[in-house]
Amino acid sequence: MKRQVEGITRRGFLISMGTAAVPMILPGSVLGLDGGVAPSEQIAIGSIGVGPRGAAVMQGFLAHKDARIVAVCDLKKWVREGAQQVVHAHYGDKDCQAYEDYRALLEREDIDAVTIATTDHWHNTVAMAAARAGKDMYMEKPMGTSFEQAQALRKVIRQTGRVFQYGTQQRSDTKFCLASELALNDRMGPMKTIHVWSPASEAGGDPGLAPVPEGLDYDRWLGPAPFHPHTVDRTSNAHWWFITDYALGFIAGWGIHPLDIAVWGGGSRLLKGTVEVEGRGVIPTQGTHDTATDWDVTLRYSSGITMEFKGRLPTEWQARYPGAQDHGTVFEGSDGWIHVNRSVVNAEPEGLLHADFGPGDRLLAQSPGHARNTLDCIRSRTDPVSPIESAVWGEALCHISDIAIRLGRKLTWDLGAEQFVDDAEANARLRRPIREPYNEW
């Protein structure tokens, strides 16, 4: 059986790797009135971090009748009150509670799951507290500001058995699933090279001192990060993600998306043995921004695959891959290539896209959408399309790339041990001190 995926023929059935089939959700007409879902059958959600990205994630869950946003939380008073008004308007009532402190939200026993879209440096702390409070979660990327934090969260998720969905939404797009399956099965010939690129961080940031905006607990906003006096745009959504105290910059914040697809399509070949990593990048020295721009990283795997990860679209790649944009992943093999971004999936030869899949092929679980997949997996207690394990694998590539740039020399990463080989200086960079009293994890 076949079905159509954006003009490309594809199998009509999908097999999930290592997860049980997701049970059918009963229609609202059975569970409630007028096509709705009975409150007892709804998944109650608290949204923690409801700025621009968090508000978009919250909207994704508002669209599903078997979920209900019952609480919002944000350190910025005007942001949380704005999100609360959006929820009230959507449901036509005033039942959504607004919180400044995420811990108060997590204490509510009636909340089943949370969305987490705070500043990056708070992701890990909030997520681990949520897991320990018995909440399932959808967490925006990246996982934090150090690889140690990603490892710690994985451990807690395993211990608590919570459902964890990572915000690598491209896995819920059929184009990326198709490209990754073709790559997994070497339809372009044995895999040789993977090209990955994304937008880069920006220089800038006004270092001038400025009053803390009214309605913001600045010390709490800094939280686990080192203390610095408040500057003009330090807490602005357009700037904090380029400051290393709060984020790795776009090498992780954007780069994780095409890197995640590289890992999805590369499979076990990118998960075993060692990888040599070396690269360069520009670290701004003016202003408050200090995350890498215009990076060029090469990762050579012991499996024989080479990955090139760049913070820009090279001219030669733009000419080679039709429809190339400011982000993308390309799988190159001995007999052709497969290129995918959020607008196109194409290949050389073009016939690769029309390949059929058989019983012996390795197939990936398909998601009907990241929010929908999260809700289904909360009910079935199975792993979502972006589970904790793959989140950590992709996160590792962001961190080792950034560390190689900052140390300016070739490093060797042990994929199994998750540490650099015989390099104490590099391994020290996998950890970060956490400011008291915010070392809650």
Could you tell me the CATH number of the domain that includes residue 164?
A: 3.40.50.720
Check: CB of residue 260 under 8 Å from CB of residue 395.
Answer: no
pLDDT score, position 258: 98
What is the CATH classification number for the domain harbouring 343?
Answer: 3.30.360.10
Q: Would 310 be classed as within a structural domain?
A: yes
Tell whether omega for the bond before 437 is within 30 degrees of 0, i.e. cis: yes
Look up the domain containing 238 and give its range: 173-206+219-356+388-428
Average pLDDT over residues 403-429: 98
In angstroms, the CA 364 to CA 357 distance is 11
pLDDT band (50, 70, 90) for residue 12: very low
136 and 184 belong to one structural domain: no
Strands 113-116 and 43-48: parallel
Angle at 55 between CA 93 and CA 376, to 5 degrees: 80
Confidence (pLDDT) at 314: 97
Distance CA 223, CA 102 (A): 12
226 and 342 housed in the same domain: yes
Strands 293-301, 306-310: parallel, antiparallel or unpaired by DSSP?
antiparallel
Residues 138 and 260 in one domain: no
Q: What is the pLDDT of residues 194-210, one digit of tens each?
A: 999 999 999 999 999 99
Alpha-carbon distance 395 to 259, whole Å? Answer: 9
202 and 165 housed in the same domain: no
Query: What is the average pLDDT across 6-24?
Result: 34
Q: Which long-range contacts (CB under 8 A, 24 or more apart) does 309-312 make?
A: 309/196, 309/197, 309/255, 309/259, 309/279, 309/397, 309/401, 310/195, 310/196, 310/197, 311/197, 311/198, 311/199, 311/200, 311/201, 311/250, 311/251, 311/255, 311/281, 312/197, 312/199, 312/200
Q: Are residues 154 and 255 in the same domain?
A: no
For residues 100 and 237, membership in a common domain is answered with no
- In the block, which residue shows the tokens 């070392």? 439
381 found inside a domain: no
**Domain count across the chain:** 2
- 1 vs 381 pLDDT, higher one: 381
Whether residues 255 and 401 fall in one domain? yes
Query: Do residues 162 and 38 both lie within one domain?
Result: yes
Residue 439: band (very low, low, confident or very high) from pLDDT cuts 50, 70, 90: confident
The answer to whether position 347 is within a domain reads yes
What pLDDT does residue 34 have? 47
* Domain annotation covers residue 410: yes
Quick check: 371 pLDDT over 80?
yes
Write down the H helix ranges in 120-279. Answer: 120-132, 147-160, 174-184, 218-222, 250-253, 256-266
Give domain status of residue 343, yes or no: yes
Report pLDDT digits (tens) over 244-296.
999 999 999 999 999 999 999 999 999 999 999 999 999 999 999 999 999 99
pLDDT band at 441 (very low <50, low <70, confident <90, very high): low
Rounded-to-integer distance, Cα 326 and Cα 240, Å: 22
Do 251 and 320 fall into the same domain? yes
Structural domain contains residue 349: yes
**Is residue 340 included in any domain, yes or no?**
yes
- Which tokens in the block code for residue 77? 């008073």
pLDDT on residue 248: 97
Q: Place 40 in a pLDDT band, splitting at 50, 70 and 90.
A: confident
Whether 45 is in a domain gets the answer yes
My answer on whether 49 and 156 are in the same domain is yes
pTM of the model: 0.91
**Same domain, residue pair 27 and 57:** yes
Asked whether residue 15 falls in the same domain as residue 157, the answer is yes
